[in-house]
Structure 1
Amino acid sequence: MSKSGSVKDGEKGPYDPVPTTDKANDEIKLEAKMSLLNGITVIVGSIIGSGIFVSPTGVLKYTGSVNASLLVWTASGIFSTVGAYCYAELGCMIRKSGADYAYIMETFGPFLAFIRLWVECMIVRPCSQAIVALTFSVYVLKPVFPDCAPPDDATRILAACCICILAFINCWDVKWATRVQDIFTYAKLLALFIIILTGAYQLFTGHTQYFTFDDTNTEVTSIALSFYSGLFAYNGWNYLNFIIEELKDPVKNLPKAIGISCVLVTIVYVFANMAFYTTLSPVEVLGSEAVAVTFANRLFGMFAWMIPVFVALSTFGAVNGILLTSSRLFYAGACEGQMPEILTMIQISRLTPTPAVLCMTLLSMLYLCSSDIFALINYVGFATWLSIGVSVLCLPWLRWTQPKLPRPIKVNLFFPMIYILATLFVTIVPMYASPKETGYGCLMIFTSVPVYFVFISWKSKPKCFQRAVVRITKFLQKIMLVVGKSKPAQV
Structure 2
Amino acid sequence: MFIAGNYLNFVTEELKDPYKNLPRAIWISIPLVTIIYVLANVAYFAVMTPQEMLASNAVAVTFANRTYGVMAWIMPLCVAFSTFGGVNGAIFTSSRLFFVGARQGHLPGFLATISTKHYTPMPSLIFGCLMTLIMLSSNDIYILINYTSFVESAFIGVSIAGLLYLRYSRPDMERKIKVNIGFPVFFMIICLFLTITTLTSSPRECFVGIIIVITGIPVYLIGVVWESKPKWFRGILDKVTLLTQKACLSVREELKED
Shift of 1:411: 3.2
Paired position in structure 2 for 1:168: none
Matched to 2:52, the amino acid is E
Partner of 1:219: none
Could you say which residue in structure 1 is the equivalent of 2:220?
A: 452
How far apart in 1 are the matches of 2:58 and 2:162? 39
Whether contact under 8 Å (2:103, 2:109) holds in the other structure is: yes
TM-score by length of 2: 0.89
Structure 2 residue aligned with 1:468, among 236, 246, 250?
236
Q: Kindly indicate whether residue 148 of structure 2 is the aligned counterpart of residue 380 of structure 1.
A: yes
Q: In structure 1, which of residues 327, 336, 339 is the aligned counterpart of residue 104 of structure 2?
A: 336
Aligned equivalents of 2:190, 2:89: Cα separation in 1: 27
Q: Does 1:440 align with 2:212?
A: no
1:106-159 deviations in Å (ceiling 9; x for gaps): xxxxxxxxxxxxxxxxxxxxxxxxxxxxxxxxxxxxxxxxxxxxxxxxxxxxxx
Using the TM superposition, give the Cα deviation of residue 370 of structure 1 relative to its aligned residue in structure 2, in angstroms.
Answer: 2.6
Aligned equivalents of 1:418, 1:301: Cα separation in 2: 41
| Displacement of 1:255 | 0.9
Q: What RMSD over aligned residues (CA atoms) do the two structures have, in Å?
A: 2.2
User: How far off is 1:464 after superposition?
Assistant: 1.7
Pair 1:276 & 2:47 matched = no
Contact 2:107 2:223 in 1 (8 A): no
Find the residue that maps to 1:346 and give its secondary structure. strand
Following TM superposition, by how much is the alpha carbon of 1:338 offset from its aligned partner in structure 2, in angstroms? Answer: 0.7
Residue identity matched to 2:241: T
Compared CA separation, residues 373 and 276, structure 1 to 2 (3 A): farther
1:266 aligns with 2:34: yes
Query: Following the alignment from structure 2 to structure 1, what is the Cα–Cα distance between the partners of residues 86 and 182?
Result: 32
- Name the % identity: 46
1:242 equivalenced with 2:7 (yes/no): no
Alpha-carbon distance in structure 2 between the residues aligned to 1:414 and 1:293: 37
Task: Give how far 1:246 is off.
Answer: 0.7
State the alpha-carbon separation in 1 of the partners of residues 229 and 177 from structure 2: 44
Q: How does 1:159-308 map to 2 (within 5 A)?
A: 235-308=3-76
2:146 partner SS:
helix
Pick one of 342, 345, 355 that aligns with 2:123: 355
Aligned to 1:392: 160
- Structure 2 unmatched ranges of 5 or more: none
- Residue 324 of structure 1: aligned partner: 92
Q: Secondary structure at the match of 1:365?
A: helix
Aligned residue pairs: how many? Answer: 254
How much does 1:397 deviate?
A: 2.5
CA gap of 1:268–1:458, structure 2 versus 1, over 3 A, is: same
Query: 1:289–1:350: structure 2 CA closer, same or farther, 3 Å change rule?
Result: same
Post-superposition Cα deviations, 1:47-100, rounded to whole Å, max 9, x if no partner, equal 4xxxxxxxxxxxxxxxxxxxxxxxxxxxxxxxx4xxxxxxxxxxxxxxxxxxxx
Secondary structure of residue in 1 paired with 2:239 = helix
> Deviations for 1:273-312, whole angstroms, at most 9, x for unmatched residues?
1212222333332333332222212221221111211221
TM-superposed deviation, 1:428: 4.1
Residues 61, 75 of structure 2: 8 Å contact kept: yes
2:81 aligned with 1:313: yes
SS in 2 for 1:349: coil
Task: Tell me the distance in 1 between the aligned counterparts of 2:178 and 2:235.
Answer: 48
Distance 1:419 1:324 in 2: 23
Distance in 2, Cα, partners of 1:413 & 1:314: 31
Judged with a 3 Å threshold, the aligned counterparts in structure 2 of structure 1 residues 286 and 370 are, in CA distance, closer, same or farther, namely farther
**Higher helix fraction: Structure 1 or Structure 2?**
2
Cα gap change, 1:484/1:436 in structure 2, threshold over 3 Å: closer, same or farther?
same
